[in-house]
Amino acid sequence: MTLMKTDTAGTGLLPTPTHARNAGMPLDLDWVAGVEANTSAIERRCATLPGRRSVKKEYQAAWLLKAITLIDLTTLSGDDTPGRVERLCAKARQPVRQDILNRLGMPGITTGAVCVYHEMVETAVRALEGTNIPVAAVSTGFPAGLSPYALRIREIGESVKAGAREIDIVISRRHVLTGNWQALYDEMAEMRAACGEAHVKAILATGELQTLRNVARASLVCMMAGADFIKTSTGKETVNATLPVSLTMIRAIRDYQARTGFKVGYKPAGGISKAKDALVYLALMKDELGHAWLQPDLFRFGASSLLGDIERQLEHYLTGQYSAGYRHAMG
């Protein structure tokens, strides 16, 4: 049974497209000040998604396989060990049991990246040798972003030196809450410069920004400063990724691309643990941004437990039965 020889159901399983990296632009305060967010309209739009965009049977399996390729498989715990990270990397290389992948005709699938703290970057890089799976490091005083500024910039450089190809930085929320857009822009631009060739994901910590208007404006400022991705959350806030926040950020990406020509990626993180939720996010991305944003260079899920539920759903598709979680271990 081969689901993926062609682009089944428009799921985006095609070679990754190339696009110019976001070069940023001078801060345009008039554009930022003109950004608004109609909260009630955004919430109404999001409320319709789960029912209107459901997929079943082989189409659902195809979309779930696509979702696996977009996962930043993550461990960000104080008790992380080299052994845990090595097991996580093994799971990234072989995200689904081989017998399941063989029956689905997708033997070579991997996750989009592995995301760890700086201390574990070298371990992850070694464990992923021989693959194209990038290591992403959370940086800049993650998750609060309140360590001394010079140390945050240095931390980026150390993670890049250790082999991280992607850096997930956290912005200073106070700049958003006080409307100090110049300070946010300058901070983001310096962090982007410190990353060098490594791509930077700007974590907005949207659950702490109070309003969708703040989310929209912060998204735009970070893109102006050169962010390659904008990301919802650290996963440590009380409220993490939500559909209204996602729609707000996605439309900011669309507006930025329309005006500048640069494509910027999107990463919802925190709270996405069920396969059915991943399907809704994929439908939202395709509806709002189109086929190009269903590739790992423009869309990622920040998740850990999501992969296990997707694997269970794929086995259910093949066998008609749900298996126990221990059959789909994380390493």
Percent with pLDDT over 70 in the chain: 92
The model's pLDDT over 81-111, given as tens digits with 9 standing for 90+, comes to 999 999 999 999 999 999 999 999 988 899 9
pLDDT band at 5 (very low <50, low <70, confident <90, very high): very low
Residue with tokens 């869309």: 299
Residue with tokens 């050169």: 226
Look at residue 21 in the predicted model and tell me its pLDDT: 97
Please name the residues in contact with 51: beta carbons below 8 A apart, sequence gap of 6 or more. none
Q: Which of 55, 76, 99 is nearest to 233 (CA)?
A: 76
Q: Quick one: CA dihedral 46, 51, 55, 56, positive or negative?
A: positive
- Please, which residues bridge with residue 266 across strands? 230, 299
Look at residue 11 in the predicted model and tell me its pLDDT: 37
The reply to whether 168 belongs to the active site is yes
What is the average pLDDT across 9-33?
A: 76
Choosing from 66, 72, 91, 168, which is the catalytic residue?
168
The model's pLDDT over 56-90, given as tens digits with 9 standing for 90+, comes to 889 999 999 999 999 999 999 999 999 999 999 99
Look at residue 12 in the predicted model and tell me its pLDDT: 36
Q: Which phi-psi region, left, alpha or beta, contains residue 136 (left: φ > 0; alpha: ψ -120 to 50)?
A: beta
Instruction: Enter the tokens of residue 15.
Output: 């070679």
pLDDT band at 322 (very low <50, low <70, confident <90, very high): confident
Decide if pLDDT at 141 tops 80.
Answer: yes
Pairwise CA distance, residues 237 & 72, whole Å: 18
Decide if pLDDT at 124 tops 50.
Answer: yes
Choosing from 263, 267, 297, 309, which is the catalytic residue?
267
Write down the mean pLDDT value for the chain: 92
What is the average pLDDT across 14-40?
A: 88
The reply to whether 186 belongs to the active site is no
Decide if pLDDT at 14 tops 90.
Answer: no
The model's pLDDT over 303-320, given as tens digits with 9 standing for 90+, comes to 888 999 999 999 999 998
Pairwise CA distance, residues 59 & 273, whole Å: 20
Decide if pLDDT at 327 tops 80.
Answer: no
Decide if pLDDT at 18 tops 80.
Answer: no
Pairwise CA distance, residues 291 & 249, whole Å: 17
The model's pLDDT over 196-212, given as tens digits with 9 standing for 90+, comes to 999 999 999 999 999 99
pLDDT band at 4 (very low <50, low <70, confident <90, very high): very low
Reported as half-sphere exposure (CB side, CA atoms, 13 A), residue 66 has a value of 33
The reply to whether 56 belongs to the active site is no
Q: ∠ at Cα 205 (27, 254), nearest 5°?
A: 50
Choosing from 66, 231, 263, 286, which is the catalytic residue?
231
pTM value surpassing 0.85: yes
Decide if pLDDT at 232 tops 70.
Answer: yes
Looking at per-residue pLDDT, the higher value among 14 and 3 belongs to: 3
What is the average pLDDT across 209-217?
A: 98
What is the average pLDDT across 246-265?
A: 98
Q: What domains appear along the chain, each with residue ranges and CATH number? A: 55-325 (3.20.20.70)
Decide if pLDDT at 185 tops 90.
Answer: yes
Decide if pLDDT at 16 tops 80.
Answer: no
